Structure 1
Amino acid sequence: MSDQRAGRLGVGVIGAGHVGPVLASALAGAGHALVGISAVSEASRDRAETMLPGVPVLEIPEIVERSELVLIAIPDAELPALVSGLAATGTWRPGQIVVHTAPDSGVGVLEPAQRAGSIPLAIHPAMSFTGTSLDLTRLAETFFAVTGPSPVLPIGQALVVEMGGEPVVIAEDDRAAYAEAIETARVFSRSIVEQASGILQGIGVEHPGAYLSSLVRSAVEDALSAER
């Protein structure tokens, strides 16, 4: 178990997609102890081993039982069944911090864990993840949406700062609008780049992605600067 007096937590991770291992690595870099991660597919196991060498791959109930902070990094649609299923088996514990990273949901989806005495937080990094160590550098430039009951918001904000990000409080009722904004920016950016790359490729330009890189980055930066 971790040293609570020093503010260190035993962290368990549910989900070894692109997001979970990266955030776990950032928390480990801040001094927290990683007690385990769940990984089902071969790709997720490889990712966990690469990003979190030596961290055991465990079953989800065992991760929750061992952890003081449970980081849930799975698709939004899978959250309700996971949280309620663990509540039905009495797995959640009082005082345990439970964080999910889905943009669409606030802490309402964590109510079954909260009823058991757990501390619910929704923390979403506004970043596109590769699932590699490259993401750790990008976290330093990333804003995180933090949603939770007022008394525990400082916990979520502190975790974000420890991961190198900038916390921004988003109200529970505003999470749907927040998720829409994030998805709009992601989809629009990708589709425009793909369209432009296709046109360049059609006229024989080699490596259109590299050709557009400087233009796209500077244009986006100019647009974002205008909104500051």
Structure 2
Amino acid sequence: MNNVESSRRPGRLGVGVIGAGRVGAVLGAALRTAGHAVVGVSAVSEASRERAETLLPGVPILDIPVIVERAELVLLAVPDDALPGLVEGLARLGVWQPGQLVVHTSGRSGTEVLAPARRAGAIPLAIHPAMTFTGLSLDLGRLPECTFGITAPAAVLPIAQALVVEMGAEPVIIEEESRPLYHAALAHASNHLVTLASQSAQLLSDLGVQRPDRMLGPLMKASLENALSSGESALTGPVARGDVETVRTHTAALARHDAADVALAYRDMARATTLRALDRGLLSAEQGAAVLAALEPTPTEDEP
């Protein structure tokens, strides 16, 4: 590799970070803390440049082909949809190198997306952190509580595992064909939790509650902890009790409040909750049917 520092202790790599977004800058900093040398970072927007300067001080901001030419390990931390075109474009430029580690952080993709680099002799690895990032230094302290979904050819799987362990996190093997479902599970848990909290806070704000976060925080934290430790046996509330009139009152109130997206989300989640409660015997068939009926729009109420 060109211009890779020769003074590093054995086993340390020259890392090139492509994409100084919230994930790339943090993982680059974590690898640097583990003793690897970050030889270059790409950053286009002002925010990404500031992030690179904060988390990777002293690392030069370079063009992507230059980074690939200099690095022994290339960390691709770009949006999922941009990844295939980037890998193919760099292959057309002929910059991928035999023996070079090419690591991406996409959740939905395994190593097949790195096929153009592999054909040039590079070693493909997929490591996806199951964590939401702020892009700040505090993320580094959260990595020890984080797991990474890793995918790699069997012969080089230990390399992916070692990189994750070096960053202080736990590697969990995800098969290539399972990556989309794996990513859907994480997106459902993380992204939709944000929507849920925001919708509930909106309703409380509309009612005049000054600090909806203080009202929702203890409730949501306790619910999450109970759900993770006890599963669906921790379920409480009107659906779990088969409290049909309460469910009907909720849907009517949401319809009157002119919060179409909240009403739709409430109905869909309540239906899903009812079906899962039925499947696990938490509700009788009669109770479940009554709750599902209560969730149907009334003749004068359009489904949002």
1:16 corresponding residue in structure 2: 20
Q: Conserved in 2, the CA contact under 8 Å of 1:2 and 1:32?
A: no
Other-structure match for 1:223:
227
Shift of 1:5: 6.3
Cα distance, 1:159 vs structure 2: 0.5
Partner of 1:20, secondary structure, is helix
Query: For 1:137, which of 117, 128, 141 is the aligned residue?
Result: 141
Query: Which residue matches 2:164?
Result: 160
Aligned to 1:93: 97
How many Å separate the matches in 2 of 1:119 and 1:213? 44
Cα deviation code 1:179-217 (max 9, x no counterpart): 111111122211111122112212222232244223322
- Identity score, percent: 59
Report the CA distance between 1:2 and its aligned residue.
4.8
Instruction: Report the secondary structure of 2:216's partner residue.
Output: helix
Cα shift at 1:109: 0.5
Corresponding residue of 1:26: 30
Match of 1:118 among 114, 122, 128: 122
Q: One-letter code of the match for 1:76?
A: D
Match of 2:66?
Answer: 62
In structure 2, runs of 5+ residues without a counterpart are: 232-304
Find the aligned partners of 2:35 and 2:216 in 1 and give their Cα distance: 39
Task: Name which structure has the greater RCO, CA cutoff 8 Å, separation 6+.
Answer: 1
The whole-number CA distance in structure 2 between the counterparts of 1:131 and 1:213 is 23
Alignment of 1:185-204 (within 5 A): 185-204=189-208
Structure 1 window deviating more from structure 2 (53-62 vs 177-186): it is 177-186
CA contact (8 A) 1:197 1:208 kept: yes
Structure 2: distance between partners of 1:223 and 1:60: 44
Could you tell me which amino acid in structure 2 is paired with residue 168 of structure 1? V
Secondary structure of the 2:132 match is coil
Find the residue that maps to 1:55 and give its secondary structure.
Answer: coil
RMSD after superposition: 1.4
Q: Scaled by the length of structure 2, what TM-score is found? A: 0.72
In 1, the alpha carbon distance for the partners of 2:95 and 2:177 equals 28
The 2-side partners of 1:19 and 1:218 are apart by 28
Pairwise CA distance, 1:167: 0.3
212-221 or 147-156, which deviates more? 212-221
- Note the C-alpha offset of 1:19: 0.5
SS in 2 for 1:102: coil
Q: Which amino acid in the other structure matches residue 85 of structure 2?
A: A
How far apart in 1 are the matches of 2:215 and 2:150?
36
State how far apart, in whole Å, the 1-side matches of 2:54 and 2:124 are.
29
Alignment of 1:50 onto 2:54: yes
Deviation of residue 225 (structure 1)?
1.6
Rounded Cα–Cα distance in structure 1 between residues aligned with 2:219 and 2:174: 32
Summarize the Cα distance change of 1:211–1:183 in structure 2 as closer, same or farther, 3 Å threshold: same
Which of the numbers 121, 133, 150 marks the counterpart of 2:154?
150
Q: Distance in 2 between matches of 1:54 and 1:114?
A: 31
Structure 1 residue 223: Cα displacement: 1.1
CA shift at 1:158, angstroms? 0.6
Q: How big is the shift at 1:6?
A: 2.1
Partner of 1:169: 173
Larger radius of gyration between Structure 1 and Structure 2? 2
Q: Measure, in 2, the Cα distance between the counterparts of 1:142 and 1:79.
A: 23
What is the SS of the residue equivalent to 1:35? Answer: strand
